[in-house]
Chain A
Amino acid sequence: MGRADSPFGNVNIGAAMNDQGDDDGIVLTEAQKRARRSRSLAIAFALAALVILFYVMTLVKGPGVLIRPI
């Protein structure tokens, strides 16, 4: 597919995806970088919490440890 046929028109996609400071690309501002970092950390914490939840619940339901009725 030629550039003229691209759904993105004349935009250089490689440059647009690059946040290292190319002149014709999108350069993230400090605020955007901070927001992206906070979102990335939240995703990391959520995934870690999910792993811990599954690990602990496997102990509860599986090998029979920690089982006690309310």
Chain B
Amino acid sequence: MVITLFVVALVCSIVLSFVYSFTAPRIEDTQKELILASLREVITAAEFVEVIPETLWRAHDSAGNHVGLVFRVFPQGYAAPIPITVGLDNDGKITGVRIATAGEGMKETPGLGAKILESDFKDQFHGKEASQVLLKQDGGEIDGITAATISSRAVCSGIKRGIEKYMDELDVLLDMEMFFPSADRFVAIIEDTVWYALQENDTLGIVFVGKTMGYLADIVFMVGLAQTTAITGVNILSSQETEGFGEQIRSQEFLDSFKDGIPEAISGATVSSDALIKAVRTHVEKYKEYVE
């Protein structure tokens, strides 16, 4: 009796592992094709480069120019998270929105929330920017679906948050690539703060984000630090210094001078530039251990 049960279980697992082993690669392929097809649906591009696996892609045209990005978000709907794919052009305007169908994991109520799939609703997003993607009753420009406010609002907020998050992420990524042009990926060590720049499996260096008090407000900056502890680049992510004075810390000439050692303070912007120079130096000391 026990032996029969054991044999049945064994046969079942062998059959299943056999079926799995020859279907798994095909399942993976078809899944990739499906994802690629959904990317093509939201933006016209020749090639997609995956930045964050299954979440963020950069879109290139056939000449290799960067034409925009595609991201996927999963905002909580009425019944379950709604899988949405969004295409954005370089100005941050929506080029297309694709919402998964019921068979692909969208679980909103048929006939009610599921109306978010209808083009009357979806096509409203074309050409909109993050600030416009809100229901009209919330101060935006999107007509919600009658009796499906929760689902329509979820789609809007998901897309809006996605744009805000991934536009920034893309800016940061472009900077990182400027610091380490030969790196093929960046892996976060401390989330949103320190990344390893990797080329295949070799570490080229690290990129980190730091913050310091300037003359008027915080200066947020990003530094690339090579394996040799040489600075490969400095960039300002945000600052609100005095126009014409403190804001000179954003000049390329000043930022480039970090690569040749400690730069001179800028006359007329001594407080801002000194603050940045000092902060870069202390942050390099702090994160140096990661490259050593």
Co-assembled chains A and B: no
> What is the interface of chain B, defined by CB distance below 8 A to chain A?
none
